[in-house]
Amino acid sequence: MTNFRDWLHFTGTNNLIGWLLLAFVRRSPRLILVAIASSYMFAWVGHLLIQRNRPATWEYQVLSALCEIQMYLKIWDGSMDAEVAQFTSGFSRIVS
């Protein structure tokens, strides 16, 4: 994986899947709320404490969820590092 922030997103999505499965098995709507709250915590820690920016979830809930799924799948199939490299290859030249 590219960095700790991506690991937090990946872990949060796995957390969401686990809680949703448990909510389904136990037929407990309250566990769906636990799933959402605890899963967002992982991503928000990465954004607020590591990147020091505002998560897109606060303004673009649906788009953020779709992008989260796309990132999750790219991490699973091993293409996330290449994706990040493609869009950040010239970034160090711009910042310097």
Span 1-32, pLDDT tens digits: 567 878 888 899 999 999 999 999 999 999 99
- C-alpha to C-alpha distance for 40 and 34, rounded to whole angstroms: 10
pTM for this entry: 0.74
Q: What angle, rounded to 10 degrees, do the helices at 4-26 and 29-45 form?
A: 180
68 within 8 A of 43, measured Cβ to Cβ: yes
